[in-house]
Amino acid sequence: MSNAVKTIGVLTSGGDAPGMNAAIRAVVRTGIANGLHVKGIRRGFAGLLEEDIIDMHTMSVTDIVQRGGTILFTSRCEEMRTPEGQKKAADICRKHGIDGVVVIGGDGSFRGAQKLSENGINTVGIPGTIDLDIACTEYTIGFDTAVNTAMEAIDKVRDTSTSHERCSIIEVMGRGAGYIALWCGIANGAEDVLVPEKYDYDEQKLINNIIESRKKGKKHHIIINAEGIGHSEAMAKRIEAATGIETRATILGHMQRGGSPTCKDRVYASMMGALAVDLLIAGKTCRVVGYRHGEFVDFDINEALAMQKGISDYQWEVCQSLSHNYDKNNK
């Protein structure tokens, strides 16, 4: 157990995610309610190294819970990957009287938190990423909003795709993880779903499925393609050449990171922010907050980073089985 904290800092790092502001708000107000001083570190670890640090008060986080993005801004920081940068970051924390830091971000951000802890600063990580790719938790801040944004956009693309009797390839975000694609595949009733964890790159299967669907009278064909596979525009050209069916690619892009967070993202982010502060008050360090089996829990960051996460075989089976042409005996 590390020393108790009196002043905590909070930062957001890496890609932004809807709900980060709710987490910031919870950190600030929970800290102040427990007699702590709270400082906001702007622009993530890069801002920490540049001493872009401000005092936070209860009113600093008024009217932000419904806002997308992050009021503290965010960035990625190569210097934080170096031992010199890590030591400098810890020294700056001590200079400003910060003895505990809440880091909101993904696995890269947690590695920065891990190094801060090794250099004597108490740290707790909160999973903030739309990708849902952090293995220790069933929920990450922003995923619910992002997947709903993508779902609504795909519904709109389907409308026009049906009107023009097209095949549509819709690319969603997720980096190397296919969770947004998988969930939208089920929620949007896609004919084909491509995720990096499962895709065998046999494009002929897609072509055969499109042709078979058209023979059965389908007026559209929706393919949801995960960012980790990508190259949707080139794929669309190849499919159109092979099938003779007009095929368009739509890349949803960064719209999935924006927008007002859903109720779930606001509430879960708030719970995680409060728990992170509670852990620091208890003198804990090198922890990451997570959500498992209906409970908000915490893990050692080293343990969390060592965990592996993959697509659920059952969810994938269900996603495939709901497709128009799926035959379990002839995959």
CATH number of the domain within which 64 lies? 3.40.50.450
SS3 at position 187: helix
pLDDT value at residue 323: 80
Distances (CA, A) of 3 to 86, 179, 301: 20, 39, 18
Integer Cα distance of 69 and 74 in angstroms: 9
Asked, for residue 281, whether it belongs to a domain, the answer is yes
Look over the chain and give the mean of its residue pLDDT values, rounded to a whole number. 96
Token pair of 81 as six digits = 């990957």
Extract the tokens encoding 328.
């379990």
Query: 116-130, 164-178, 207-221, 313-327: lowest mean pLDDT where?
Result: 313-327
Using an 8 Å Cβ cutoff, are 38 and 56 in contact? yes
Q: How far apart are the first and last CA of the chain?
A: 53
The structure's pTM equals 0.95
Q: Is residue 131 among the annotated active site residues?
A: yes
Predicted pLDDT at 262: 98
Same domain, 156 and 240: yes
- Given a cut of 60, whether residue 331 has pLDDT beyond it is no
Structural domain containing residue 207: 147-257
- The reply to whether 331 falls in a domain is no
* Residue appearing with tokens 């890069």: 46
Give the position of tokens 């065998």: 200
Whole-angstrom CA distances from 177 to 10, 244, 265 are 27, 31, 19
Cα 179 to Cα 256: distance, rounded to the nearest angstrom: 13
* 252/184 same-domain check: yes
Rounded mean pLDDT, 282-305: 97
- Give Cβ neighbours of residue 296 (< 8 Å, ≥ 6 apart): 271, 272, 275, 289, 290
Q: Are residues 25 and 137 in the same domain?
A: yes
Does residue 326 have a pLDDT over 80? no
241 with 158, same domain?
A: yes
pLDDT at 4: 77
In a domain, 1, yes or no: no
CATH number where 216 lies: 3.40.50.460
Eight-state DSSP code of residue 259: S
Residue 43 lies in a domain: yes
Residues 276, 133, single domain; the answer is: yes
Cβ–Cβ < 8 Å for 287, 115: no
Query: Within a 13 Å sphere around the CA of 85, how many CA atoms are in the beta-carbon half?
Result: 15
Residue keyed to tokens 């709710």: 22
Tell me whether residue 311 is in a domain: no
Burial of residue 242, with CB atoms counted within 10 A of its CB: 0-12 exposed, 13-18 middle, 19 or more buried: middle
Query: Per-residue pLDDT averaged across 79-102, rounded?
Result: 98
- Cβ distance 284 to 2 under 8 Å? yes
- Residue 98 has a pLDDT of 98
Are residue 244 and residue 268 in the same domain, yes or no?
no
In a domain, 315, yes or no: no
Determine the pLDDT at residue 1: 43
Share of the chain above pLDDT 70, in %: 97
Q: Is residue 237 part of a domain?
A: yes
Taking residues 132-139, what's their average pLDDT? 97
* 211 and 154 together in one domain: yes
Output phi, psi for 99, to 5 deg: -110, 5
Task: Provide the domain count of the chain.
Answer: 2
One domain for residues 161 and 84: no
Q: What is the pLDDT of residue 329?
A: 64
Q: What pLDDT score was predicted for residue 219? A: 87
72 lies in the same domain as 173: no
- Nearest partner of 18 among 92, 77, 71, judged by Cα: 71
Query: By CB neighbour count within 10 A (0-12 exposed, 13-18 middle, 19+ buried), where does 323 fall?
Result: middle
Write down the pLDDT at residue 328. Answer: 65
Q: Is residue 194 part of a domain?
A: yes
Please state the rounded mean pLDDT for residues 225-252.
97
202/88 same-domain check:
no
Q: Residue 184: phi, psi to the nearest 5?
A: -70, -35
- 199: amino acid identity, one letter: Y
Asked if pLDDT for residue 278 goes beyond 80, the answer is: yes
Confidence of residue 96 (pLDDT cuts 50, 70, 90): very high
What letter would DSSP give residue 64? -
Q: List, for residues 2-56, the tens digit of each pLDDT value.
A: 567 899 999 999 999 999 999 999 999 999 999 999 999 999 999 999 999 999 9
Q: Is the pLDDT of residue 172 over 90?
A: yes
Residues 331, 284: Cα–Cα separation, whole Å? 49
Are 187 and 227 found together in one domain?
yes
Please identify which of the residues 131, 144, 192, 265 carries the catalytic annotation.
131
Same domain, 222 and 175: yes
pLDDT, average across residues 175-203: 96
